[in-house]
Structure 1
């Protein structure tokens, strides 16, 4: 009898819990579907001219100040990339305050004092605060605005300018230290390095803080070392944490004129974010960086950039504080099971379910899921394609000669998906690049990232030794629930019309541009996608691509290069996913998923960096050197700077 009574009570408790959970879930559902989302972009395009106005002021031109109104409108609505608009607007305020009419200055002041400078301030919008370049752009804007309005109150935060300076300085120092210790998450990005340069230049020119300005110079030195060591004859195209189609193809790859400046001290007149950099107020370019850019020797440049998600806890970036979230979201780690609860907690605390970039997270904002800690389990089950946004630790390898560069990210297969990664390619001199990829979308579907030419549907496993790069693709037979498509082929950008000579036969494709040669070898025969002469298709889900570089110096004639490559030995096991390639007397083996023991685990391994540790880095070449000490901080050049 007692047992039946207990059983009856237990059933009633279970029923009550089910009813309670149902009610809570229903209330959550009503709340979630009623979330509003802020517009990311203006409903009608706003053409802003703050960059051109600053340029005109520098060149003593007469200014129609009404041209600044669209910029202030854009900022006041807090549309995405409003932080970009601050770069030259702040330069106008700092360099030409006496030229701004009183009524225009009043409007500027009101706009800047009402802005939401960081995700911890009250308010909501759809600005992207979190990627690496946006972090330093927002922090730079907040610091310099706070310094400008030191005694005034900012309406969103309720803080005065001095408090904003203190708050922003902490974030800037954290960001700089991450770059010092781990490099750039958006490594070698011809798009996002421009934004980093712009933010750092503003701080160097205008921040009234010696520690801050010296540390900004140090990180700008390291960024320009990246550019100098990766560019070939003025073209900055390499592997990258974030690359778009034109970046991968080597188009507009002079980094807004930065490579021309590095090579020839040629300052490019600009209307863009690099106005300040080209003017060079306070930054002193070390001679050694120019010498590295102009080096015509054959070098191997290895570098480690970023962290793996598995390393976050050990390195102290696993919590939900500002510093930890800057690292996690800076590496685009949002939905990975290790950090999904952090993401949701942060979104709730910063009122960002209304942010257009993050609106999908609302569907995990159920109380029961949070109470039972089900988020990691759910994302493991769903395995969303967004896991591939995470930009993890990259061991980059570049083989650079005076004629070309061949580059890869070694053993970079931590994720099946990849959003905007670029992990293997070759520069044909300074003309264009060649690369292979697995498309994540059908041709012409360019409104998403990844797509046909951006990122990868599924990552290959890549290894490189000098002028030979090998990659294995293993595409599963069925797509994941969150994938748009999962094509059963890979393809390469191989623009026939840009080559001087091309020879394609079965599974071989050869190209010549000037004195540079390239060979592409696949498991299966190549064919161009119908209607194209630059999109080389290789059918098959388990395939390989071998890329070998050559030149007139190494192989004399193009015909001799072709003959040599066709004699090379190749064996591939589709079952074991193992590739062996013998070129000359060099035999290389690649097995999918098997990591090679790398020669170094140091952050830098190249002829140009003789000492690299947590405390100091010495960049040296041809008798010139640059000592960088982040924690003291100081920069010492062996020769006078330019």
Structure 2
């Protein structure tokens, strides 16, 4: 066995000024956006810094870019009000990387927004980065498996690795990139990444090949370099110069065996105080430190967080911010009245909180089925994508309760929406290739909730299948060697070439997948599908066949043949990657290589051969 540290790689550098659209108009677009401090302005700062650090440009333009970088607001602790959302998990790292590199680049210069010199900005950002990186290694990503927001994390970290002068920080950032790419490799299907996700957008779910993660996946695992678009943040990962994807992770991504993966990511809001208090590297007790973690997981208006949210909102003077302005009605209440008032008003914003996610993904060479188990059933949803099936030919199948909100977020479409998230979350459980989803839409209405639809629907692209069949309470499709069938507790209604609907306040369905290793034809698969009987009574969804029965009780147990199936997953549970929750070490076994990531010692070591 040969042991070596993960080495460096050569790659195409960031384009020179005057090529591939990097011209005066490009720089001015970036500076105008940064100066206006619009939503996603932190992304533009990173792109602007990349140009400043790697491009020769006219002096007047360089000075303009420098003024924008020095005048930016990098933290909620700095003076100013704007439309930026710097507190969510992905923005925490993008803005911290931007501040760190800006401070490093302009080490002795004064930053005009707060009057501190670059060295102080660099030190402040370094502390936030070390916390963020350590939390991701220990707890995973709250925005679990997102094919949008994970891309932003990876782009920022790749740029940090390229340009930091701190080798310890570069090593830590590389290890977190490794973990994110492990997640992608384990939960992808034929290069498409659309498993269950903490935050999703409709277009990227229906067409994962168009997601922000698609060029990153192609760059990390593909044989053909993706096309470079310097307006997109993912370009920073594509042009990386130092970070090399370990061979063990590439082997995970390129091999497509039968693979069952259990993953646990994030924390419930009620766990945060305890887990941060006993964090082995960075124990935290202060209110703003705890709030930073809560807001990173968007737990702003939950019973566990509302008191500290109101205190932090006053301390940081966020009363004018679009996200926090609706909370002004709470501002005059005494502390003891905040939680009762929140429970009485029942705002749908509580559904934005990204709680602990126990995700099961089954993938074969012919299909993928992924879901998060028992995720906040009956609660409000937001952007969480709770289950997904992928088949060959770009077929993506998923279902939700279409939501409606009276709130209009800055810079993106409102959520939940027609295909995004859920108005009311279902109870979901998966056992290998079978998934049960149980909906109860009779929950109490919430503040800011729009008109609640009394139906659930499924995205089922009939036109992409080779064969489809639709019955009164079932639908089935075949694509090449892959089959999917869905049984409904109430009747299905096809309303378009991509959508079927099940109406009612209390409904459920079962999703079954298979391939030609089990079924020789569509007829044989349909014969098997019709052996199952799906019933819903007294909050219990039961799927029964001559061979096996599944039973899902609303907010209760999931049983298979009478035996409870527990959803408390380890951080990683798969043949290739295993680690308990809150690990200090993660080991990846590829087909020929092994990667060991040991966080306390900061070791990132790859072995040729198996341990």
Give the TM-score normalised by the residue count of structure 1.
0.86
Partner residue of 1:506 out of 447, 472, 497: 472
- Counterpart Cα distance in 2 of 1:562 and 1:58: 59
Tell whether the 8 Å contact from 2:393 to 2:479 is kept in structure 1 after alignment: no
**Does 2:570 match 1:602?**
yes
Q: Closer, same or farther in 2 for the Cα pair 1:631/1:59, shift >3 Å?
A: farther
Give SS of 1:509's match.
Answer: strand
- Counterpart Cα distance in 2 of 1:404 and 1:62: 39
Partner residue of 1:297 out of 254, 257, 281: 257
- Counterpart Cα distance in 2 of 1:225 and 1:610: 11
Give SS of 2:552's match.
Answer: strand
**Does 2:350 match 1:387?**
yes
Aligned equivalent of 2:111:
154
Aligned equivalent of 1:28:
none
Q: Closer, same or farther in 2 for the Cα pair 1:588/1:113, shift >3 Å?
A: same
Q: Closer, same or farther in 2 for the Cα pair 1:335/1:60, shift >3 Å?
A: closer
- Counterpart Cα distance in 1 of 2:330 and 2:370: 40
- Counterpart Cα distance in 1 of 2:16 and 2:599: 35
Of residues 537-546 and 152-161 in structure 1, the stretch that sits farther from structure 2 once superposed is: 152-161
**Does 2:579 match 1:629?**
no
Unpaired stretches in structure 2, ≥5 consecutive residues: 1-12, 278-283, 559-564
Give SS of 1:555's match.
Answer: coil
**Does 2:227 match 1:269?**
yes
Give SS of 2:293's match.
Answer: helix
Shift, 1:126, TM fit:
1.5
Shift, 1:316, TM fit:
2.6
**Does 2:121 match 1:164?**
yes
Tell whether the 8 Å contact from 2:571 to 2:583 is kept in structure 1 after alignment: no
Shift, 1:262, TM fit:
4.1
Shift, 1:79, TM fit:
1.4
Aligned equivalent of 1:75:
34
* Deviation by residue 1:268-296 (Cα, 9 ceiling, x = unmatched): 12112122322230101111111111222
Aligned equivalent of 1:206:
163
**Does 2:319 match 1:353?**
yes
**Does 2:530 match 1:566?**
yes
Q: Closer, same or farther in 2 for the Cα pair 1:165/1:521, shift >3 Å?
A: same
* Deviation by residue 1:332-385 (Cα, 9 ceiling, x = unmatched): 11111211121111111112111122211222222xx13x53111100111111
Matches within 5 A, 1:191-590: 191-252=148-209, 255-271=213-229, 272-316=232-276, 321-366=287-332, 369-370=333-334, 372-413=335-376, 416-429=379-392, 431-441=394-404, 447-476=413-442, 479-529=445-495, 532-573=496-537, 575=538, 577-583=539-545, 585-590=547-552
Of residues 230-239 and 66-75 in structure 1, the stretch that sits farther from structure 2 once superposed is: 66-75
Give the TM-score normalised by the residue count of structure 2.
0.90
- Counterpart Cα distance in 2 of 1:273 and 1:469: 35
Give SS of 1:567's match.
Answer: coil
Give SS of 2:267's match.
Answer: coil
Shift, 1:414, TM fit:
5.5
- Counterpart Cα distance in 1 of 2:185 and 2:301: 35
Give SS of 2:60's match.
Answer: helix
Partner residue of 1:113 out of 70, 83, 98: 70
* Deviation by residue 1:85-113 (Cα, 9 ceiling, x = unmatched): 022211111222xx122222221222211
Tell whether the 8 Å contact from 1:552 to 1:558 is kept in structure 2 after alignment: no
- Counterpart Cα distance in 2 of 1:103 and 1:58: 14
Q: Closer, same or farther in 2 for the Cα pair 1:414/1:391, shift >3 Å?
A: farther
Q: Closer, same or farther in 2 for the Cα pair 1:621/1:149, shift >3 Å?
A: same
- More helix per residue: 1
Tell whether the 8 Å contact from 1:411 to 1:595 is kept in structure 2 after alignment: no
Aligned equivalent of 2:90:
133
Give SS of 1:334's match.
Answer: coil
- Counterpart Cα distance in 2 of 1:458 and 1:65: 48
Aligned equivalent of 1:3:
none
Shift, 1:62, TM fit:
9.0
Shift, 1:519, TM fit:
0.4
Q: Closer, same or farther in 2 for the Cα pair 1:447/1:268, shift >3 Å?
A: closer
Tell whether the 8 Å contact from 2:161 to 2:170 is kept in structure 1 after alignment: yes
- Counterpart Cα distance in 2 of 1:212 and 1:129: 21
Larger radius of gyration: 1
Q: Which has the higher contact order (CA 8 A, sep 6+)?
A: 2
Tell whether the 8 Å contact from 2:489 to 2:535 is kept in structure 1 after alignment: no
Aligned equivalent of 2:52:
93
Shift, 1:585, TM fit:
2.2
Give SS of 2:233's match.
Answer: coil
Q: Closer, same or farther in 2 for the Cα pair 1:63/1:482, shift >3 Å?
A: closer
Give SS of 2:381's match.
Answer: coil
- Counterpart Cα distance in 2 of 1:413 and 1:239: 14
Q: Closer, same or farther in 2 for the Cα pair 1:331/1:477, shift >3 Å?
A: closer
Q: Closer, same or farther in 2 for the Cα pair 1:349/1:599, shift >3 Å?
A: closer
Tell whether the 8 Å contact from 1:287 to 1:639 is kept in structure 2 after alignment: no
Of residues 308-317 and 323-332 in structure 1, the stretch that sits farther from structure 2 once superposed is: 308-317
Tell whether the 8 Å contact from 1:353 to 1:359 is kept in structure 2 after alignment: yes
- Counterpart Cα distance in 1 of 2:234 and 2:18: 15
Tell whether the 8 Å contact from 2:262 to 2:570 is kept in structure 1 after alignment: no
- Counterpart Cα distance in 1 of 2:26 and 2:50: 16
- Counterpart Cα distance in 2 of 1:177 and 1:451: 34
Shift, 1:478, TM fit:
6.2
- Counterpart Cα distance in 1 of 2:480 and 2:391: 9
- Counterpart Cα distance in 2 of 1:62 and 1:454: 33
Tell whether the 8 Å contact from 2:579 to 2:587 is kept in structure 1 after alignment: yes
Q: Closer, same or farther in 2 for the Cα pair 1:478/1:285, shift >3 Å?
A: closer
Tell whether the 8 Å contact from 2:31 to 2:48 is kept in structure 1 after alignment: no
- Counterpart Cα distance in 2 of 1:599 and 1:383: 27
* Deviation by residue 1:140-169 (Cα, 9 ceiling, x = unmatched): 000000000101111222211111111001
- Counterpart Cα distance in 1 of 2:546 and 2:49: 58
* Deviation by residue 1:445-468 (Cα, 9 ceiling, x = unmatched): 995210111110111111111100
Shift, 1:495, TM fit:
1.5
- Counterpart Cα distance in 1 of 2:462 and 2:21: 48
Aligned equivalent of 1:84:
43
- Counterpart Cα distance in 2 of 1:557 and 1:61: 50
Give SS of 2:570's match.
Answer: coil
